[in-house]
Structure 1
Amino acid sequence: MYQTDMYEGMLAETVTLPGANGDLINAYFARPLGPGPFPAMVVVHHLPGWDEWYREATRKFAHHGYAALSPNLYHRSGHGSVEDVAAAVRGQGGVPDDQVVADLAGAQRYLRSLPYVNGKVGIWGTCSGGRHAFLTACRAPGFDAAVDCWGGRVVMTKEELTPTQPVSPADYVADLACPLLGLFGEDDRGPTPAQVSQLEDALKVHGKQYEFHMYPGAGHGFFYYHLPAYRQPQAVDGWNKLFAFLDKHLAAPAGR
Structure 2
Amino acid sequence: MTPDEMLARLLYRDGMMLVVDKPAGLSVHRGPKGGNSLEDYFGVLRFGLPRDPALAHRLDKDTSGCLVLGRHRKALALLGKLFKQGKVGKTYWAIVEGGPAEDEGRIDMPLAELDKNRGWWMKPDPHGKPASSTWKVMGRGQGKDGVGITWLALEPLTGRTHQLRVHCAEMGWPIVGDPIYGSAPRTGGTPLHLHSRSITVPISKNKDAVTVEAPVPEHMRELLTLCGWKGETAVAQVQSEQR
Q: Same fold (TM over 0.5)?
A: no
TM-score (norm 2): 0.29
TM-score (norm 1): 0.28
Q: In proportion to residue count, which structure has more helix?
A: 1
Which has the higher relative contact order, 1 or 2, with Cα contacts under 8 A spaced 6 or more apart? 2
